[in-house]
Structure 1
Amino acid sequence: ATRSAITEKTKAIIINSPNNPTGAVYHPDEIEALVQIANEFDLWIFDDMIYSDLVYCEHPYVSPATFEGGHERTLTIGGWSKIWAMTGWRLGWITGPKEVMEGVKTCQASSASHVPTFLMGSGKVALELTDEPRMFYEAFAERRNVFHALLEELPGVKAPKPEGAFYILIDITGTGMDDIEFATRALEEAKVQVIPGSLMPGGEGLIRLSYGTGLEQIKEGCRRLKNWLQA
């Protein structure tokens, strides 16, 4: 599928693992296969690993740069917004081959100069923390299990268990509604806001949900959806 999508205009492959919106974590074999394709077609790889600390399945996040031919063509992008919950601060980082990073630094200096000084210090402190990221991870893992179990009780809904990040992409075609109708009625009738999948390419019939909120909100939201769908 990846090869068939490549055209003469293709310049790069973007990898987001763990993934938003699916919650999928690419297996190391899949990452290696993508690196081989990038080598074959001389493509760059953008590795968006912002959720890499939130993996719940047996296989871990693996960087494309660790495979043969991957290091010299991979730009790795991360940040503080997820595992450290510093979302609104817009503090991130990028690393890659030296010759490319020289161009990246020029673009950064010309467009935004640098992030505010106090954010630099805060980011340094966050990197030194050990207990807090583990607490966040454990909280997300618990929410994932509770959320998935409750979603499986919803009539007409199929909910694959996410492997990472904090999103679940559910199939609602069994309810007889498309994703736009489902999202609209869920908001109006159940007072629950969800994201229709058709806003994203290939997402027709799917709904994206997040367990980035607390357990009580998750339980209440699922209770409302269940009552609405059973009415």
Structure 2
Amino acid sequence: MSKNNQKQEDQGTNLLYKLIGEARGYDDVIVMGRGDPDFDTPPHIVAAAEEAMIHRHAEYTPPAGLPPLREAIAERVKRVNNIDVDPATEVVVTNGGQEALFLMVLATVGPGDEMIVPEPNYNTYADSLDFAGATKVEVQTWPHEDFRADPALVRAAVTERTRALLLVSPNNPCASVISPADTRELLDIAIKRDLMILSDEIYDLFVYDDFVHTSPASLPGGKERTLTLNALSKSYSMTGWRLGWITGPADLMARVAELKAAISGGVSVISQYAGLAALTGPQEPVEMMAAAYKRRRRLVLDALDAMGMAYGLPQGGQFVFADIGFTGMDSAEVAQRMLTEQHVLAYPGSAFSKDRKDYLRMTFLQPEDKLIEGLERMKVAMQGIMAGR
């Protein structure tokens, strides 16, 4: 396993686990860092899983997933993402988005290769590249541009060893959405330099204001060089069900399916029947959650504005990446003090990038009353930090 990307990522992961472990010791902790929706899985999805268990669906499934589920995924990506895929050869069902990411990376890069990744980014991306023996090449994004993935900087980062470009839109942790024009330009770079695009679109149903999410695979010339990742974890509040998918060109998806068979075989049959119900059943629960996140986002931004705290505008997803540089302290120390003194858990920016030690990642995945209380506690913590300077 390569160590090119590992040290900083290990430090970030260890820090998060330390904070999460400590938070479990507080009965009144308000979690404003973890990306785990507070809504229950919709009842019709749970009922479908129960029905599958009652009828003793306990058999092995094809490594690529149950055919009816792959068909439902194909219909979903056509309806939502405007991508035409063959469910028999261009869809693989995975154990959540995490496995999907590893499979995409292993199918596209190997030892000595490079993958361009805009920063800040989720630490699993570096983990998967290390596992493949490849190197993560980070491209800077800037808060004054709302963490835009600038095509000019991506173009400048391409070398003879570059094999792929990872795009995450809406983004985790900074909640930016790649514009249609930038998506087109990034795809043109990939075409010209013969790169694969790995597109993480797990938050694609949560886009705010007038921003628009565009799937690279939906554009002319995009499908044949794009692997697209998605999952039900966030959109249907199914994080623990572990159900995701990859779509892409048939030749590369055959490699993904081979890797899937070797690594884990088929996804839990119960989760697959639940996923089928999610995609083919009522969509009102998703619409309800999206509306709630929109309200909560506004609540959080208004509170940060009142505190005088800057942030990159969250254009999509479930996060706010807030600037705490005014404290003069490292984000790890600020997060620790917020947790110890006020029992509020936010994630330090240093867990997502070595250059973001002056940021906190917060979510709006709590009921509004909890968010209000958490933000008030955060305000008190910040006042205490500033008073002690």
- Normalising by structure 2, we get a TM-score of 0.57
Q: Indicate if the aligned counterparts of 2:331 and 2:350 stay in contact, CA closer than 8 A.
A: yes
Q: Distance in 1 between matches of 2:192 and 2:342?
A: 50
Amino acid at match of 1:214: P
Cα pair distance change 1:225/1:59, threshold 3 Å: closer
| Counterpart in the other structure of 1:148 | 301
Amino acid at match of 1:60: V
| Counterpart in the other structure of 2:149 | none
1:101 partnered with 2:101:
no
Say which SS state the counterpart of residue 307 (structure 2) adopts.
Answer: coil
**Percent of aligned pairs with the same amino acid:** 36
2:375 to 205, 222, 227: 222
| Counterpart in the other structure of 2:321 | 169
Q: Distance in 2 between matches of 1:194 and 1:205?
A: 13
Map 1:49-198; keep pairs closer than 5 Å: 49-128=201-280, 129-155=282-308, 157-198=309-350
Say which SS state the counterpart of residue 25 (structure 1) adopts.
Answer: coil
Alpha-carbon shift at residue 190 of structure 1 (Å): 2.1
- Cα deviation 1:89-131 (Å, max 9, x = unaligned): 1101111001111111111111111111111110011012211
Q: Distance in 2 between matches of 1:146 and 1:200?
A: 24
Q: Indicate if the aligned counterparts of 1:192 and 1:225 stay in contact, CA closer than 8 A.
A: yes
Amino acid at match of 2:284: D
Q: Indicate if the aligned counterparts of 1:17 and 1:24 stay in contact, CA closer than 8 A.
A: yes
Amino acid at match of 1:210: T
Alpha-carbon shift at residue 71 of structure 1 (Å): 1.4
Say which SS state the counterpart of residue 11 (structure 1) adopts.
Answer: strand
Alpha-carbon shift at residue 184 of structure 1 (Å): 1.7
Report the count of equivalent residues: 230
Residue ranges of structure 1 left out of the alignment (5+ in a row): none
| Counterpart in the other structure of 2:165 | 13
Q: Indicate if the aligned counterparts of 2:198 and 2:226 stay in contact, CA closer than 8 A.
A: yes
Aligned CA-pair RMSD:
1.3
- Cα deviation 1:159-200 (Å, max 9, x = unaligned): 333111100000111122221221121112222111111122
Amino acid at match of 1:147: V
Q: Indicate if the aligned counterparts of 1:154 and 1:225 stay in contact, CA closer than 8 A.
A: no
Q: Distance in 1 between matches of 2:234 and 2:214?
A: 18
Alpha-carbon shift at residue 88 of structure 1 (Å): 1.0
Alpha-carbon shift at residue 6 of structure 1 (Å): 2.0
- Cα deviation 1:114-149 (Å, max 9, x = unaligned): 111111110011012211110111111111111111
Q: Distance in 2 between matches of 1:65 and 1:160?
A: 27
Q: Which has the higher contact order (CA 8 A, sep 6+)?
A: 2
Say which SS state the counterpart of residue 152 (structure 1) adopts.
Answer: helix
Amino acid at match of 1:135: M
Q: Distance in 1 between matches of 2:312 and 2:256?
A: 38
> For structure 1, which segment, 195-204 or 28-37, has the greater mean C-alpha deviation from structure 2 after superposition?
195-204
Q: Distance in 2 between matches of 1:59 and 1:140?
A: 15
Q: Distance in 1 between matches of 2:366 and 2:164?
A: 34
Q: Indicate if the aligned counterparts of 1:28 and 1:59 stay in contact, CA closer than 8 A.
A: no
Q: Distance in 2 between matches of 1:228 and 1:96?
A: 47
Q: Indicate if the aligned counterparts of 1:154 and 1:229 stay in contact, CA closer than 8 A.
A: no
Q: Distance in 1 between matches of 2:328 and 2:342?
A: 17
Q: Distance in 1 between matches of 2:383 and 2:189?
A: 47
- Normalising by structure 1, we get a TM-score of 0.95
Q: Indicate if the aligned counterparts of 1:45 and 1:73 stay in contact, CA closer than 8 A.
A: yes
Say which SS state the counterpart of residue 53 (structure 1) adopts.
Answer: coil
